Structure 1
């Protein structure tokens, strides 16, 4: 546990010690902006499509709830409406 903590601290320190001239490069700045979006999308995909037991992909109520959330986001619904709409659609599908 202590080793993981030290590793995380060193990784954070490495990111903070990058010279400003490197971050001033437009390509590097754009990539740095897009990395969190890609990581979040990957986490969502794994949580939605991964089977609870094993290494299989599953399309179930979670995938439909993600679709509802995307549609609500495209309609520019407030965040709470998106969350509750996706949760309600997953609950209704599981009920059926």
Structure 2
């Protein structure tokens, strides 16, 4: 799974959905995951005021996302899930 770079997480290079203990969802290309951080590239963020999360994820799976952040590091303690965006049916 993913590209094979020494020292990188198995999801490196894969577009993923990161769920958090807060209300935000993040979609971006996984750069690395370690015990402290999840680092994503070309990241879009879903906030509650953006509407229904499931509809937003379905659109992201079908059409991709418009990145709001070139690089974003998320505190691993806030992360509740990480999964490939490709697992979501558009």
For normalisation by structure 1, the TM-score amounts to 0.24
Specify which structure has the higher proportion of strand.
Answer: 2
Q: Which has the larger radius of gyration?
A: 1
For normalisation by structure 2, the TM-score amounts to 0.25
Bigger relative contact order, structure 1 or 2 (CA pairs below 8 A, ≥6 apart): 2
Specify which structure has the higher proportion of helix.
Answer: 1
